[in-house]
Structure 1
Amino acid sequence: MREMTTSDVTPGRLAAGALAGLLGGLAGAWAMNQVSPVLGKLGELAPQLAGSTPRDVERRGATEHARPELSHGEHGEPLPRVTAPAPGANGDAPGGRESESSTVKVARTVSRTIAGRDLRPGTEAAAGNAVHFAFGGALATAYGMLAEILPEITAGRGLLWGLVVWAVADEAALPLVGLSGPPGRYPLSTHALALTGHCVFGVTTEVVRRAVHAATGTLAA
């Protein structure tokens, strides 16, 4: 099959790329959910493997002690690194809303903005998971279109894409909007585990994107 070039890019091809990317992104978000429990366990073991004792961790203070590692929710959804305020800060007790995942925080904001009310108790995990899939699907839709114009973005069978999403979203955007602490607050193991999860997302997105194109005879990159 002849490899597509930028001169072959048409609105129809962009639409096909968007659909392939969307399906890939949903699959990538699902795959990320599947590895999140494993990554969460590794995150819990990281301080021990590095030679830290429970007392060493305690001495880092309440902010750094509040689950800085990548974790996972009851439904497998990834919980990005979070920080907890000192006791009583913002009126929340430790382990309260300030320690929620970024996806749940976004879901709360959307619910308050659109519905005019907070999330119903017990729906936080499902709402956070919905945000996780929506965000992954939206990003991958753009990726699928971009791949039609700039095939180089698919380098490493999606590894480059996963790296880009991790760097832009996890390392830059989340701290910028206050959904996580600054990157320097977390140990290297936290960053490495988050990067691993995003690489799984990127590779799965690309594998499915190519499969969709191959099935429809529209492989572009």
Structure 2
Amino acid sequence: MSTRTRSIAKGAIAGLLGGIVATAAKSAVEKIYPPRPHGEPEPPQVLTSKPGGRVLAFRQNLAAQEAIQWGFGATVGAAYGALVEFYPPATSKQGASFGMALVALAHDRTLPVLGFAARPEAQTKREHTSELASHIVYGVVTETVRSIVRRMID
């Protein structure tokens, strides 16, 4: 049993760092097992295709996509780290549950409603399993890095 003092700030910092490392790991998994192997656009591509009704230059578009991907990964990691400070069961299965919850919330619910991804019933089996696998990796890596960093900054 830990006697560590709970700190939303320390938890968020640890989670943010975990989310950044986990985003890199998730990207690596998606290169090996891509969810959309036939060139279908990824959600960040859809989001940056015409922001505010204007077309971005190629380099601006790539930069915006990277900012969305890394920003989302870092922000979600920070939120997770803060949550864990007061709800430790969120770390169940060494972060795998967090990854599964994230894919269910983001890819199966929010992105389809916003029009940035296909509805779950329209997804191919490959898309669904790749998203699930990459998000489980994201969750496990986020939790692993978060727990190490959190112990270091206590």
Task: Using the TM superposition, give the Cα deviation of residue 37 of structure 1 relative to its aligned residue in structure 2, in angstroms.
Answer: 1.1
Larger radius of gyration: 1
- What TM-score, normalized by structure 2, do the two folds share? 0.89
Alignment partner, residue 102 of structure 1: 43
Alignment partner, residue 3 of structure 1: 2
Asked whether 1:128 is paired with 2:95, we answer no
Alignment partner, residue 175 of structure 1: 112
Alignment partner, residue 61 of structure 1: none
Distance 2:123 2:28 in 1: 23
The aligned length equals 154
Asked whether 1:189 is paired with 2:126, we answer yes
Please tell me the root mean square deviation across aligned C-alpha atoms, in Å.
2.2
Distance 1:185 1:107 in 2: 22
**Amino acid aligned to 2:2:** E
Task: Using the TM superposition, give the Cα deviation of residue 132 of structure 1 relative to its aligned residue in structure 2, in angstroms.
Answer: 0.5
2:100 to 134, 156, 163: 163
Percent of aligned pairs sharing the same letter: 30
Please list, as runs of the form range in 1=range in 2, the aligned pairs for 1:200-211 lying within 5 A after superposition: 200-211=137-148
Task: Using the TM superposition, give the Cα deviation of residue 108 of structure 1 relative to its aligned residue in structure 2, in angstroms.
Answer: 4.6
Query: Which consecutive residues of structure 1, in runs of 5 or more, have no partner in the other structure?
Result: 41-69, 73-81, 83-94
Does structure 1 conserve the Cα–Cα contact (< 8 Å) formed by 2:90 and 2:97?
A: yes
**Amino acid aligned to 1:142:** A
Distance 1:190 1:4 in 2: 43
Task: Using the TM superposition, give the Cα deviation of residue 154 of structure 1 relative to its aligned residue in structure 2, in angstroms.
Answer: 0.5
Distance 1:26 1:184 in 2: 30
Distance 1:127 1:177 in 2: 18
The superposition leaves residues 82-101 of structure 1 with CA deviations (integer Å, 9 ceiling, x where unpaired) of 9xxxxxxxxxxxx8xxx532
Distance 1:36 1:102 in 2: 13
**Amino acid aligned to 1:130:** A
When you count helix as a share of all residues, which structure comes out higher? Answer: 2
1:142 to 76, 79, 94: 79
Which structure ranks higher in relative contact order (CA pairs < 8 Å, sequence separation ≥ 6)?
2
Task: Using the TM superposition, give the Cα deviation of residue 187 of structure 1 relative to its aligned residue in structure 2, in angstroms.
Answer: 2.6
**Amino acid aligned to 2:66:** N
Please list, as runs of the form range in 1=range in 2, the aligned pairs for 1:4-153 lying within 5 A after superposition: 4=3, 8-9=5-6, 13-40=7-34, 70-71=35-36, 99-108=40-49, 112=52, 117-153=54-90
**Amino acid aligned to 2:11:** G
**Amino acid aligned to 2:148:** A
**Amino acid aligned to 2:47:** V
